[in-house]
Amino acid sequence: MTDEPHSALYLTDARDLWWNADFLALLARRADFTSVRHALDVGAGQGHWTRTVARLLPKGASIVGVEREPRWVELAARAPAVDGVPVSYQVGGAERMPFADASFDLVTCQTLLIHVADPRAVVAEMTRVLRPGGRLLLCEPNNIAASVSRLVTSPSVDVDDLVAALTMQARCERGKAALGRGFDSAGETLVSLLDPALVDDVQVWLNDRCTVYAPGTDRGSRTELADDRRLIEVGPLGWSLDDTRRYFVAGGGDEAAFDGLCARVWRIARARLDGLVSGRASQNEGGLFYVLCARRRA
Ligand SMILES: C[S@@+](CC[C@H](N)C(=O)[O-])C[C@H]1O[C@@H](n2cnc3c(N)ncnc32)[C@H](O)[C@@H]1O
């Protein structure tokens, strides 16, 4: 663990590239944003998702971002205003939020549930502050699926290296969850986190954005490649090296094998990035980023 606020490695403006604008408009229609007056974004970080949602709300609505890290609340509050929709932030924990029951018409989160010890408890708390008829909107990835799709299809990746990399990631993800730091592939479990006595009209979709790593084809791929490069240099699987070791061991990995495995995963990750950055290789990459919408029962 470092002294940096939570998710310091991951909160970059590449987040503004995560969604297609027309998909967001469809999402706003499906989740009935026109009826929203008061919205809440939980685990708001620096406010990337809070502002994205704010831009989709009707004029006169407002949105609050609640976030555990005071530093992120400070930074988020300095971001440019969203026309017609006041955006504010406050410090608070997702497990016990400083809001009365039934305060909001829309309660959302993005990449929060993959980081909490008890995502079911957080979803219960999000449901508590939702008014009857209001919408819960959960946006969370299955991160190991992204690694599978990225590596399995790369002919330059040796099959044994591929299996070693995925085994290592699966162990680390399990270990991270066992240590109470969240399950990185929790997107796959969203529907199991709901209380069917409290919500109905449950629908689950996938974010339709694919990143295209090919010269001149995608507005975001350069930014995302730069982000991937930075993360990989921190640790082979995008966590700090200390965290990776801790997660690996907690997930049942043999500590004596750790350095060798890191070197192997680093080699394939760097080779992939070198190919994409130089333009020798191109790739379209999906991953599974789930979007669950449910209605609070009356
Ligand atoms: C990966 S970031 C996502 C930030 C933001 N939702 C976005 O998509 O840009 C996860 C955020 O959740 C916050 N967080 C983690 N656990 C939390 C908790 N129990 N209560 C409130 N915030 C929490 C972290 O501090 C971090 O800012």
Task: Show me where the domains of the chain are located.
Answer: 13-296
Task: Decide if 295 contacts 127 (C-beta within 8 A).
Answer: no
> C-alpha angle 274/279/285, rounded to 5°?
80
Query: What is d(CA 13, CA 65) in angstroms, rounded to the nearest whole number?
Result: 17
Residue nearest atom 12 in ligand 1 by C-alpha distance: 43
Question: 274: CA distance to ligand 1 center in Å?
Answer: 31
**What atom of ligand 1 comes closest to residue 95's alpha carbon?**
19
pLDDT of residue 194: 98
Pocket test for ligand 1, best of 53, 112, 125, 207 (most atoms within 8 A of CB): 112
Pocket test for ligand 1, best of 6, 12, 72, 108 (most atoms within 8 A of CB): 6
pLDDT of residue 219: 61
Query: What is d(CA 145, CA 170) in angstroms, rounded to the nearest whole number?
Result: 10
Question: 58: CA distance to ligand 1 center in Å?
Answer: 25
Question: 4: CA distance to ligand 1 center in Å?
Answer: 13
**68 in contact with ligand 1, CB cutoff 6 A:** yes
**238 in contact with ligand 1, CB cutoff 6 A:** no
Question: 87: CA distance to ligand 1 center in Å?
Answer: 17
Q: Could you tell me the fold of the domain covering 13-296?
A: Rossmann fold (3.40.50)
> C-alpha angle 118/119/122, rounded to 5°?
95
Task: Decide if 110 contacts 139 (C-beta within 8 A).
Answer: yes
Question: 173: CA distance to ligand 1 center in Å?
Answer: 18
pLDDT digits (tens, 9 = 90+) for 95-140: 999 999 999 999 999 999 999 999 999 999 999 999 999 999 999 9
| Positions of the chain with pLDDT lower than 50, given as ranges | none
Place of tokens 């924990």: 93
Residue nearest atom 10 in ligand 1 by C-alpha distance: 112
Q: What is the value of pTM for the model shown?
A: 0.94
Question: 43: CA distance to ligand 1 center in Å?
Answer: 4
pLDDT of residue 23: 97
User: What 3-state class would DSSP assign to 202?
Assistant: strand
Distant-in-sequence contacts of 254-258, Cβ < 8 A, 24+ apart: none
- Cα 135 to Cα 79, 104, 106, 130, 294, distances in angstroms: 26, 9, 5, 7, 6
**181 in contact with ligand 1, CB cutoff 6 A:** no
Radius of gyration of the chain (CA): 19
Query: What is d(CA 221, CA 154) in angstroms, rounded to the nearest whole number?
Result: 18
Backbone angles phi, psi at 291, to 5 degrees: -130, 115
